[in-house]
Structure 1
Amino acid sequence: MHRLISVLLVLIVTVNGQQPSSSNVTAVLGELAVLRCEVQNADESSIQWSNPARQTLFFDEKKALKDSRIELVNAGRNELTISISNVSLSDEGAYRCSVFAHVVNIVTAYLSVIATPSEPILSGYEGPLVEGSEMLLSCQSEGGRPLPRLLWNHNGHPVTGKERQEVLEGGTVMVISHLAKVVGREDDGTSLTCEVFHETLKTSLVASITLEVYYPPVLFIQRRGDETRLLEGRSLELDCIVEGKPRPESVKWQRLGEGLPEKADVVGGTLRISPLNRTDNGTYRCQSSNMAGTTYTDFNLIVHDPGMLESRLGTDTAVIGGVVAVVVFVTLCLLIVIGRYLARHKGTYLTHEAKGAEDAPDADTAIINAEGGPASAHEKKEYFI
């Protein structure tokens, strides 16, 4: 009987026991965390919140731990809700909500503390850079938790850096990403950005720079006029067109191996020689410099004598006429030879192979009687008429 009563009491206690419910909470470092515990069909019971160190924070509406950051939000028969302001990393852990009735029921809510990373800081760029030089950039963001992601982007295209992490005092993380790049003139004016992504951010944090690259002058020579050959007595005008960064110095003209002709006139990047003669022949060089380097390009001048040119044209015409005459003569000769050959071989062949076959009664007899048959094969002859 005593044992039966004990079993009944256990069943009554189990039925009357109140099961609390709660949920895990994620809070941003330095902000507010709210812990809520609810009890369905609450009877005469008490609710208690305790921290990861098992210290009681609130027992119903009564505050037990003297911590000004912890406040009561709501207390009742069915609920006990508290808040923790200015959350620190030390607040992270498992909090317990206990319901005291005929039995004690406990539910655990885990408080996770995350931290927003700082804006990225770009370093290592000391522009402008000279074409062909290498730059080593660093992008740094600290204070994040969990680990943030750092991504590089160059003019709209992702690029890969080399990353390392370091845990700071207090439990947050510092992330540093290094990017090495050799710059060219095509990089001048392009943007390079470092972005930080983290779950605490609605949009990424961005740091960017605009690259400035110096490169040596780019030169090309443009000749005015449409003459194919430069003749004595005519004029020559050459424009030396130059580009570069920074702006190149003034253009310099020279003739390799000797000075410019006395009649040569240089205005800006334009060289003019008039009138031309064959003593002006040579290699003319256009040269320009800036702080990134020196560049030059050459123009080979050949002045032609109009008389010699006409004589050469006449000689060329005569040679061409002679070649054509020879070709025509050879063609006619071939036609004559072919015609004579065809005329000599045109005719009809008449043989005596079938002679006597007209009177033969059958084919075998005709073959035997024919002069061209087996019996007289050695005497077979042909006649050309």
Structure 2
Amino acid sequence: MTIPPRLRRALIRLNRDTSFLALGAPLHLFTGFALFMMFGLVWEIIEGRDSTAPVVLAFALVLTGISAPALTAAQRRRFRRLLGIDIASPGWRRPWRQFGYHCLAGTLFGALEALTVGLLLAGVSAALVPVWIYALPAHWRTEHVGYATQTAYLSVAGLIVLAVVPSLAAAVVRLESQTVPSLLGRSREEDLAQRVEDLTESRAGAVHAAGAERRRIERDLHDGAQQRLVSLALNLGLAKATLTDLSPEARQVIDAAHRGAKEAIEELSSLVRGLHPAVLDELGLDAALSGLAARAPLPVRLRVDLPQRLAPAVEAVAYFVVSEALTNVAKHAQEASRADVTVALLGEILRVVIADDGLGGADAAKGSGLTGLVQRVRSVDGTFRMSSPVGGPTVMSVELPCPR
């Protein structure tokens, strides 16, 4: 016999709900009984009937406080295994929420669970009365002439109860699943704080992975394509110097190829430095910025005060901030004749200031490479400020956190 899919799903859901309620009722009623006993002890203290009641009450309160985390863990396992709801552990924060749930809300839920499970058992018992009647000796049925009518009434009542129990069980389960996580789990503020922490760690991992990938590409280009181009340029130079019997056309072709190889080497070197300069990993930010200032198309006065090496991600962001800022000064700063770069570690903050003597008027919202610079700074929780009044000067200030 094949059970219809709809009926099968209903039976599975009923089994899940009743199992959930049956496991929860003892836990909740235990705490309810403990609460009732504590109220009784309080009444004994008020009436002055038992001199040992205060000691017993204090012991009961301590025992309840100690057992609250264990009861909370049991409830969390019940939700996870039967309903698939994972209630985050609240730790030791706000223990009053756990205590309040087990002593107050838990008692109400325990009563509802016991009522639902009791109705289910009563419904099954009443619906099966005809079967049990025929299991009795025959003389009993002979002595009780009106048993058939009473049996029919009980059986119908049991079937009605069984028809109502699934909806009642589902309602109680839904009520608990919507209420309990906020009492036994973390609060909304704690969830948001955890989410922020997870996102921060995820972003830090992404920044680290991107930096590692840039370093890998830089090594591959430096050790692979760049070395081949250098070898090609050397061979072409040797060909020019040693092959003296070449025709003018052939020598012209070799000269053009030699120039192209050297230009390609320069472009590739610039690209490699733009990806991730090797000197930044080997010698640190001070040396990398010194090389950057020496290659700048305009005079740069560089001042660096770094007593120690910083995190690789912070050093990389600071380097590229200065690089992009100097590029913007050279390309977009009108009548700029020099630039000043100051890098200093102030406590746990790396402060980078780039200034030029141009006519100003720069706006980060209008592009000019500044938008990418701002995004790069924000990738490590840094702050970016710029002052560029018309007439100048333009001053960029970047602060990057450097936790020790």
TM-score by length of 1: 0.18
Question: When you count strand as a share of all residues, which structure comes out higher?
Answer: 1
* Larger-gyration structure (1/2): 1
